[in-house]
Structure 1
Amino acid sequence: MNALLITGTDTEAGKTVLTTALAAYWQRYCSARSLGIMKPLQSGIGDREWYQKLFSLEQSPEEITPLYFQAPLAPPIAAAKENRQVDLAVVWQALTSLRQRRDFILVEALGGLGSPVTDELTVADLAGEWRLPTVLVVPVRLGAIAQAVANVALARLARVQLVGIVLNCVQPRTDTEITDWAPADLIQSLTNIPVLGCLPYLENPTDLNKLAELASNLDLERLTSS
């Protein structure tokens, strides 16, 4: 495997935080091997600009984000406003090319597993059809257990190769809140998917040293060996 798809239960689950942490870890500990980052589709200013700011990727904007739409809406809606189509062939070609030139690729999905990519396909459909090993980010909040169970069910329906779940504190959380709202053992028992760790809330999301440290606390072997 030389690509990993990072998806979430929904928008603002923490996909960018996990992707940034993994990239920071790679930059610090695996610098002898080349890394690529891709946001296949983006609507509005956001993740592509974030990665360009934080990392020296030696990738053009089009290599990071093959399909870019102006309106911060679901891609099929944003594309329609520009009288364009969501051409997934462009994305596939860009991903294939990048995988040939880099040792490892982090691919951050848009929205959640159920988010529409086209009028017919969701992120889950794309992950399944393209056979991308996938990690699911679940935000720590009330309802996290149900979100995890529902999204794993969707992943199985779409035949997604789900390699693990990462919990993410989108707001400051106490240990008790984490245990009560997103108990790793219960989520694993209900989904039969390993929980690879929990990212705490980070006040400074640009602190690459801290992000690399947090990533090192995750079960990274599962994320890079599937």
Structure 2
Amino acid sequence: MNTLLITGTDTDAGKTVLTTALAAYWQTYYSAKSLGIMKPIQSGTGDRELYNQLFSLNQSLDEINPLYFQAPLAPPIAAEREGANIDLGKAWQAFQNLQRSRDFLLVEALGGLGSPVTYELTVADLARDWGLPTVLVVPVRLGAIAQAVANVALARQSGVKLKGIVLNCTQPRSDQEIADLTPVDLIQSLTNAPVFGIIPHLADATDLAKLTQVASQLDIERILDFKF
């Protein structure tokens, strides 16, 4: 399956940065192959508009994001505010259409693995039910080790196909701070999951050349694992 889900430990972990970096890398080095980007559920403005602005995807906003709610809240709450239902069948159909029509599909989750999709399902449940190979983004900050351990445990308990972890600097960090806050060897030992690399803090997260460079410094082959 040439599909990858980007999820995180929490909101603002860096899912969008990794997704845009991978998309920038793809359109630079695999331009002959078609790319799709999808965010199944979005609450509030942001990601779908960014993807539409940055990349030549030939996708409508509804194809990028089939379920949209105005309030920047958890989807069950945002949907209730609008008197709407969360129609996962609609999102699944949009996902299947893109998967059939694109050589590779990047799917960005909402929130973290434990974030609610409905009153019954979390992002981890959705990743399992849709059979999505998954990369977990862990922000470089105090508590990151515990977050990584807890989220990898949730992924495994839920049956998620977790490929590994990417660390993301949500603010400027020195090499020493990164080593102290997110020691790679310790995280890999505790989670038994590979760390594919570290994304530095980006002053401009829309600079496609910089995003491509950042992606190239990750273990990109293991992340994308693209089969031609």
- Tell me the TM-score normalised to structure 2 length: 0.98
How many angstroms apart in 1 are the aligned matches of 2:41 and 2:181?
31
Aligned to 1:55: 55
CA displacement, residues 97-119 of structure 1 (integer Å, 9 cap, x when unaligned): 00000000000000000000000
1:223 maps to a residue whose letter is: I
1:1-226, aligned counterparts within 5 Å? Answer: 1-225=1-225
User: 1:2: Cα distance to partner?
Assistant: 1.1
How many angstroms apart in 1 are the aligned matches of 2:139 and 2:200?
10
Count of aligned pairs between the two proteins: 226
Secondary structure at 1:165's aligned position in 2? strand
How many angstroms apart in 1 are the aligned matches of 2:79 and 2:118?
9
How many angstroms apart in 1 are the aligned matches of 2:21 and 2:224?
14
How many angstroms apart in 2 are the aligned matches of 1:50 and 1:220?
22
How many angstroms apart in 2 are the aligned matches of 1:216 and 1:114?
29
**Structure 2, unpaired ranges of 5+:** none
Which runs of 4 or more aligned residues in structure 1 lie more than 6 Å from their structure 2 counterparts after TM superposition?
Answer: none
The percentage of aligned residue pairs carrying the same residue is 72
How many angstroms apart in 2 are the aligned matches of 1:14 and 1:64?
19
2:202 maps to a residue whose letter is: L
CA displacement, residues 152-172 of structure 1 (integer Å, 9 cap, x when unaligned): 000011100000100000000
How many angstroms apart in 2 are the aligned matches of 1:207 and 1:70?
27
**Structure 1, unpaired ranges of 5+:** none
How many angstroms apart in 1 are the aligned matches of 2:169 and 2:97?
34
Secondary structure at 2:86's aligned position in 1? coil
How many angstroms apart in 2 are the aligned matches of 1:149 and 1:207?
32
User: 1:59: Cα distance to partner?
Assistant: 0.2
User: 1:224: Cα distance to partner?
Assistant: 2.2
How many angstroms apart in 1 are the aligned matches of 2:167 and 2:70?
30
1:173 maps to a residue whose letter is: R
Secondary structure at 2:124's aligned position in 1? helix
